Structure 1
Amino acid sequence: MACMKAISTFNLGMNADSVEWCPIEGFRDLLVCGTYQLDSNSGERIGELHLIQLGKHPDLINIVQKINMPGVLDCKWAHVKLDSIYLAVVNAVGEIRLYILLEEEKKLKEVFIKKLTKDDDTLLLSLDWSTGVHTSDAHIVTSDSKGFIHLLNFDSGNINIVDSWSLHKFEAWISAFNYWNTNIFFTGGDDCLLKCFDKRIGSKVFSSNAHNAGVTAVQYNFKDEHSFASGSYDENILFWDFRHWKVPKGSVTPGGGVWRLKWEPSTCKTVATCCMYEGSYIVDPEEFTTIVDYHEHKSINYGIDWCYLDEKTCLETISESAQDGKKIGLLAVCSFYDQHISLATFSNDIK
């Protein structure tokens, strides 16, 4: 029987909306959590980026660095080490900020800022690196609150704008690469459309209205070149075969608007999702079923991610024993108004 249970919680002091574990070998005990809050006095959208190190039980959550900045909407590590270990952050004043991880100090250092929007009222809402499978010619794609998508070229710590396109009538909530063919990326908007765009021809490959509300989440599969998933305010997760995009191959309705989707990185046999007011879930992308639910957080669940540490290291860190016939994973979840981040273990029968 599957189980997901909290093993540690921490109040960050600001509304938490994005959490990401470092995928780089040797630094997989690190994660970042971004916050976003409207200052009632100044009216500014403020935020913080927390660098957290996983400690030994019982002191699992250790804040090692806190960086003040405009409100954070999304943050992502490059999937591989480029010339350094990079983290990109998009914020509430239309900026993308680039950080390197100082490996000896285990601290983040800001190396680049670029404003992508024409005013301070347009928010950058999401980002993705192209490095999920192919590591050369790194790019970043971002989306904004006016429906624009911005494609950026990464070059040794610098970011250059390749092009920008108006692809959605309202907020473009999500942008994500096809990791197997990085000429292609996906976008989802408040206009209920899921779009696939090819940068080589500068136009969309397809546009789908399979969702009945705003499309808020997309992630491509790391292990299957034809597989990706999308999520929406309509509470549905759709699983797609890229070769047959007109109709999804299956769906799961865990409950609640879907905000983020994360394939389990080692096998891609499960998908974690945070569903806003209805908690977080682990779902089966092959059986199209909900495996387990998680309701530790009493506010909007906006962030979820899998830890990349191997199972043996995870168990040693959290002082738990291996279970025969079970696979153990570690996740981080964050929520908005209660300002919490939690660490949770997920155990399930080995397939």
Structure 2
Amino acid sequence: IRAGSISLFDVNAEKGNLELFHRVDTAGIFDIKWSTVGSNVGPLLAQADADGYLRIYSLEGCSNEEKPRGGFLNEVCGEKISSSMCLFLDWNPAATSISVGLSDGSVSITTLAESKIEKLQEWKAHDFELWTTCFDIHQPQLVYTGSDDCKFSCWDMRDNPSGMVFQNSKVHKMGVCCIAKSPTDPNTILTGSYDEYLRVWDLRCISRPVNETSVCLGGGVWRIKHHPFVSGLVLAACMHNGFAIVKIGDEKPEVVEAYSQHGSLAYGADWQRAKLLPGGSTIVATCSFYDRLLRVWRPKSDFCCI
């Protein structure tokens, strides 16, 4: 039995305070993600768990004040969408659909309608665990998938079942862990792999994307998060080699900062979705696996000058 929880913290990065104010006990969670746009019930949080459930929570009782005390998560709906484990999820740009990667290699496309989760499509996309799925921000009819079978694929959901646009099985030497479409460049997408490489792909020929360049991060690239405001800047969780901030530019990707204050597998990472602090920095949250450690920190880099 895999048991987990979702915890909400009040964070004051300036004073170094981190205070737990709400917790929900759940099945073991592989992925959680906030919706990308507002809704009439406030921010929505989606959860993919080990029991094969997709659950949606709304954030209630929080205002725009500096201290969101009294806030809590309210489960809007939950649906067992598979007998396999739900490993990863992604909201589409309009926050009307969620793609879910499953441990049997399938991908499920669901929609949230009238407080109910409905499955629109599901197909066998890969031979092994489907670690990552990603909607195309600029062409939301396309969804990308990556798997333990070392394949990086794209599917067109206008077909039913979805038709394969491409599948690359030659570049990644180990499983594909994460995929992240550039929010600013419609022709660029990133992949991370157990083979320790962060790769930059050119999508201008969508049926045959080109792996333009790559950088070895010294550990399996489990998560990639684009900076919310600084184009071409990404945060990577690198499993056995901590965390890295990488600049993706016209030349080869460059590691501008590394963070090694975790003593266990680097799994979770994200930027604070707020304005840049004085000096051009942004707060980062990272977490590691076996030691169950959460750290909130400020990068040393001045992002205004990157």
- Asked if Structure 1 and Structure 2 have the same fold, meaning a TM-score greater than 0.5 normalized by the shorter chain, the answer is yes
- Give secondary structure in 2 for the equivalent of 1:249: strand
TM-score by length of 1: 0.79
- Partners in 2 of 1:179 and 1:199 — Cα distance? 14
Q: Tell me, what secondary structure is at the counterpart of 2:282?
A: strand
Work out whether residues 45 and 92 of structure 1, in 8 Å CA contact, stay in contact via their aligned partners in 2. Answer: yes
Which residue of the partner structure matches residue 294 of structure 2?
341
Closer, same or farther in 2 for the Cα pair 1:214/1:56, shift >3 Å? closer
1:228 is matched with which residue: 172, 189, 196? Answer: 189
Name the CA shift for 1:237/1:56 in 2 (closer, same or farther; >3 Å).
closer
Of the three residues 161, 165, 168, the one matched with 1:205 is 165
Distance, in Å, in 1 between the alignment partners of 2:16 and 2:284 is 16
Moved more, 50-59 or 82-91: 50-59
Corresponding position of 1:126 = 88
Give the Cα separation in 1 of the matches to 2:193 and 2:36.
25
1:296-335 Cα offsets, whole Å, 9 max, x none, are: 10000110000011124xxxxxxxxx44xxx211110000
Aligned-partner SS, 1:212? coil
2:168 is the alignment partner of 1:180: no
State the shift of 1:249 in Å: 1.7
1:157–1:227 distance in 2 versus 1, CA, 3 Å: farther
Could you tell me how far 1:246 is from its partner in structure 2? 3.3
Scaled by the length of structure 2, what TM-score is found?
0.91
Show the 5 A alignment for 1:176-325: 176-201=134-159, 202-209=162-169, 210-244=171-205, 245-286=208-249, 287=251, 288-312=253-277, 322-323=278-279
2:196 and 2:221 in contact (8 A); partners too? yes
Letter of the 2:187 partner, please give it.
H
The SS at the match of 1:243 is coil
Deviates more, 1:234-243 or 1:151-160: 151-160
For the aligned residue pairs, the C-alpha RMSD in angstroms reads 1.4
Residue in structure 1 matching 2:78, options 99, 104, 113: 113
Q: Distance in 1 between matches of 2:179 and 2:237?
A: 13
| Secondary structure of residue in 1 paired with 2:239 | coil
Equivalent residue for 1:11? none
Q: What residue number does 1:27 align with?
A: none
Q: Cα deviation per residue 1:25-69 (whole Å; 9 max; x = unaligned)?
A: xxxxxxxxxxxxxxxxxxx11111111221364352111111111
Shift, 1:247, TM fit: 2.0
SS of residue paired to 2:281: strand
Native 8 Å contact 1:258 1:275 kept in 2: yes
Comparing 223-232 with 292-301, greater Cα deviation is found at 223-232
The equivalent of 2:30 in structure 1 is: 73
Shift of 1:289: 1.4
* Residue in structure 1 matched with residue 19 of structure 2 by the alignment: 62
Give the aligned partner of residue 49 of structure 2: 91
Runs of at least 5 residues in structure 1 that lack an aligned partner in the other structure: 1-43, 313-321
Higher RCO (Cα < 8 Å, 6 or more apart): 1
CA distance in 2, matches of 1:56, 1:243: 41
Unaligned runs of 5+ in 2: 63-69
**Shift of residue 159 of structure 1?**
1.7
Name the structure 2 match of 1:13. none
Q: Is the 8 A contact 2:3 2:27 kept in 1?
A: yes
CA contact under 8 A between 1:252 and 1:283: conserved in structure 2? no
**Whole-angstrom distance in 1 between the partners of 2:290 and 2:187:** 37
Q: Percent identity?
A: 30
Distance in 2 (CA, whole Å) between partners of 1:92 and 1:170 is 16
Aligned residues: 289
Relative to structure 2, which stretch is displaced further, 217-226 or 184-193? 217-226
Match of 2:32, as an amino acid?
Answer: C
- Whole-angstrom CA distance in 1 between matches of 2:275 and 2:117: 32
Deviations 1:265-285 (CA, angstroms, capped at 9, x unpaired): 112221100010111101111
State the Cα distance separating 1:96 from its structure 2 match: 0.5
